[in-house]
Structure 1
Amino acid sequence: MKNQRMAAVSGLALIGTLALAGCGAQKQDGGNGGTGAESTASSSQAGGDCPQGASLSAQGSSAQKNAIEEAISSYQEKCQDAKIDYNPTGSGAGIKALIAGQADWAGSDSALKTEEKEGKIEAEEAKKACGSDAWNIPMVTGPIAIAYNLEGVDKLVLTPKVVSDIFTGKITTWNDPAIAAVNSGVTLPDTAIKPFFRSDESGTTENFTKYLKAASDGAWTAEPAKQWTGKGEGKTKSDGVAQAVKGTPGGITYVEWSYAKDNELGMAQMDNGAGPVELTGESVGKAVEAAEQDGEGNDLRLKLDYATKEAGAYPILLVTYEVVCSKNKDAAKGAQIKSFLEHFASTETQQSLQEVGYAPLPESVRSKVDTAIDALQ
């Protein structure tokens, strides 16, 4: 069933308007819909009602592309008379589109900035565009794989310092002593290392560089940013870097787990100081559960601990936020967004995301997401 659903939306949900099938009762209250307890119970199981009459257009994070396709597909099984168009233009472009009034919500791998940049504060600009506070609601847990193409090497361990030295051009061959030192017993070839990076503004880049800055003991000196500042060859979006590594012996990149899996790339185990950790849903969940809320109220911006040395926690990850207006100017759109997000956040949908390379939100986080979505208007 999953494969049929994915086939139905692949290439359609992202280039045009996707009509969804099967709708229930229409909300008459602009999307507030019942008590918090009723809404939370609903979203924890299947998620939300099916408002009618709204057509939605959203854009942003390409990291959540496969996840949101899965969510739209399963939503399609229960709702019709709604249209959702999600375009994976990248996190930076998505935020800009929301602020410009060109998107009903944005997907972003980093929360709205609260500090001034180029004379503007993202969070304040979004608030002006919404006419209400804009909330960062974490929805997709996207592990970032260090994906590689190295024939004969099925298991590879890396440290944050080694990764930093690779992506700053200090380590240039796979049999470098620094790599060999953490891969005892592994025969490493003298193949040249060919790093690939995201050439577009990317929340994945920002989260990856946050990790390197926090965990590499000073090996990564540049400030974290959506725009890449290291070495290598640039490719556009997650598909671009994953396919580049697949076609390049000796290639390496940072990319979401789902893209590494889809392209059958090797994935390094990361050692932050407590031993090598394989990328799994469970190991990523340990890292997310340790995150602190950095926003107020229903603004669920998270502060991740990239330098964690907790045993069994995979440290390189991003959380994709659905950046939404807390009170939508268009009541019909507000109700439709709320309905879809209830479904997206449901336990059932979150568990299904593991099949396409994502980790489900830990229940401690998901319950807060339910509360925030219930408060949307």
Structure 2
Amino acid sequence: MTSLTRFKRRAFIAAIGCVSMGLAVSCGPSNPDVSAPTATSPTAGGGGGGGTVSLSGAGASFPAPLYQRWFADYNKQNPNTQISYQSVGSGAGVEQFLAGTVDFGATDAPLKAEEREKFKAKFGAEPIQVPMTGGSVVFAYNLDGVDGLKLSRDAYCGIVTGEITRWNDPAIAAENSGVNLPDSNIQFVHRSDGSGTTFAFTNHLQAACPNWTAGANKAVEWPVGTGAKGNEGVTAQIQQTPGAIGYTEFSYAKENGLQMAAIENKAGNIVEPTPEAGALAFKGETVPADFALLVPDPENPDAYPISTLTWLLLYPEYQDAAKKEALNSVVGWSLTDGKSAANDLGYIPLETELADKVKTEVAKIQ
């Protein structure tokens, strides 16, 4: 009997953290009234009585606002499909996916080779990894009286390495002529949890900043700064801290009214973090067979330089046919009907050709 066959036959009962009628995001760690798959059987079990199908997922906070909107809107049109999503960070999302405690995972960092091998050893098959949207990682800041901050590479690289510590440093002042920059300390805010946003951010720093030595990963040893959990936590920390600057996903900064710095790209142009400029990072790039497209420092002279895709992690087989059909339907709906929501929130919808490839890949699920 193969691992995958054993995986399909096991039953499930386990508690999962957050749920609402259509979706729950960023809630607590446990809720005894909600059931989810066990670590050895993410596909076992029924969809619930009365034709109701319940799906549980966990992972990246980067796309959480969009997933919240998508899943709630989908539920309004399909009330028998209930989707819970825990915004716990990409690191925890990958862990729960590999353990089989969710129906789908979510990550802003493609699966590593060792993670794929762990999945194959446990389930006897390759995981399915598909992008759902793109977005930009921005430098959000809290600096009274300073609008339209511009940061050269020397400036933002110096901030994250701790070499630049004052707001009126010459490297910052050089790009902000006429701006009254305060003679005060810079308070850098970074993620404290395993984060795909951190991976995208540090992947860019590794490519763009000569003095960056901490590497590119979901968690790194930061040379400077204060940590906060999730894009939610980083955003809140910046809001509460005068003189703060940190990295977060565009939609979090937008929805919370935070200022966002324009930054220098590879071509030497200072570019504002708009969805249009973020989309140019992917223009002309070839998407690999496993969909793990990374563009750490785009060549396009008009591109915003820190943009990433974000991926759903799915199992190759689901014993419950209703769950398989629901996942297929949700993904297809999100990539078509859900495009307007992505635009509204400042994400980057997948181009039609890539969206069609994703739907074809998801349709292969057994």
TM-score by length of 1: 0.81
The 10-residue stretch of structure 1 (100-109 or 7-16) with the greater mean CA deviation from structure 2: 7-16
In 2, distance between residues paired with 1:349 and 1:14?
24
Counterparts in 2 of 1:291 and 1:129: CA distance versus 1, 3 Å:
farther
* In 2, Cα distance between equivalents of 1:326 and 1:156: 46
- Asked if 1:349 is matched to 2:338, the reply is yes
AA of the residue aligned to 1:136: Q
In structure 1, the residue matched to 2:89 is: 90
- Compute the displacement of 1:374 (Å): 2.8
Aligned-residue CA RMSD in angstroms?
2.4
Query: Out of 365, 373, 377, which is 2:354 matched to?
Result: 365
Residue 277 (structure 2) pairs with residue 287 (structure 1): no
Aligned equivalents of 2:154, 2:314: Cα separation in 1: 37
1:44 is matched with which residue?
Answer: none
- Superposed CA deviations along residues 187-245 of structure 1, whole A, max 9, x for unmatched, are 211121000110011111111000011122x1212210111322101111111111111
| Shift in Å, 1:165 | 1.2
Give CA-to-partner distance per residue, 1:130-187, whole Å, 9 cap, x none: 4432121000212111100111111111133321210121100111011112223322
Q: How many pairs were matched up?
A: 328
Aligned-partner Cα distance in 1 for 2:251–2:21: 18
* Contact preservation (8 Å) 1:149, 1:245: yes
More deviation, 267-276/128-137? 128-137
Query: Could you tell me which residue of structure 2 aligns to residue 325 of structure 1?
Result: 315
How far 1:85 sits from its partner (Å)?
Answer: 1.2
Q: Which residue pairs with 1:78 in the alignment?
A: 77
CA distance, structure 2, for counterparts of residue 335 and residue 130 of structure 1: 21
TM-score of the aligned structures, taking structure 2 as reference length: 0.83
Supply the distance in 2 between the matched residues of 1:302 and 1:110 (Cα, whole angstroms). Answer: 10
CA deviations on 1:42-91 (whole Å, 9 max, x unpaired) are: xxxxxxxxx94432111001111101011112201221222211111111
* Alpha-carbon distance in structure 2 between the residues aligned to 1:92 and 1:202: 6
Q: Distance in 1 between matches of 2:277 and 2:354?
A: 16
CA 1:363–1:277: 2 relative to 1, 3 Å:
farther
| SS of residue paired to 2:271 | coil
Are 1:165 and 2:154 matched, yes or no?
no
Aligned counterparts, 1:1-377, within 5 A: 52-114=51-113, 121-216=114-209, 218-230=210-222, 231-272=224-265, 273-294=267-288, 296=289, 299-304=290-295, 306-346=296-336, 348-377=337-366
Distance across 2 between alignment mates of 1:113 and 1:71: 27
Q: Secondary structure at the match of 2:132?
A: strand
Secondary structure of residue in 1 paired with 2:138? strand
- Displacement of 1:289 in angstroms is 2.7
By relative contact order (CA 8 Å, sep 6+), the higher-ranking structure is 1
Q: Is the 8 A contact 1:132 1:327 kept in 2?
A: no
**Following the alignment from structure 1 to structure 2, what is the Cα–Cα distance between the partners of residues 335 and 132?**
20
Q: Which letter maps to 1:313?
A: A
**Distance in structure 2 (CA, Å) of the matches to 1:276 and 1:335:** 45
Find the aligned partners of 1:210 and 1:108 in 2 and give their Cα distance. Answer: 15
Change in 2 beyond 3 A, CA 1:235/1:302:
same
Partner of 2:46: none
Whole-Å Cα distance in 1 between the matches of residues 22 and 152 of structure 2?
Answer: 38
Partner AA of 1:276 in structure 2: I
- Rate the CA distance shift 1:54–1:212 in 2: closer, same or farther, 3 A: same
Amino acid at match of 1:274: G
Q: 1:168 to 1:320 in 2, by over 3 A?
A: same
SS at match of 1:289: coil
- Whole-angstrom CA distance in 1 between matches of 2:153 and 2:97: 34
For 1:10 and 1:53, the matched residues in 2 are separated by: 14
Which residue identity does 1:199 align to in structure 2? S
Look up the equivalent residue of 1:137 and give its one-letter code: V
Which whole-Å CA distance do the structure 2 matches of 1:162 and 1:328 have between them?
49
Measured at CA, do residues 355 and 10 of structure 1 come closer, stay the same or move farther in structure 2, by a change above 3 Å? farther
Q: Which amino acid aligns with 1:122?
A: E
In structure 1, stretches of 5+ residues that fail to align are: 1-6, 19-29, 31-50, 115-120
The percent identity for this pair of structures is 35
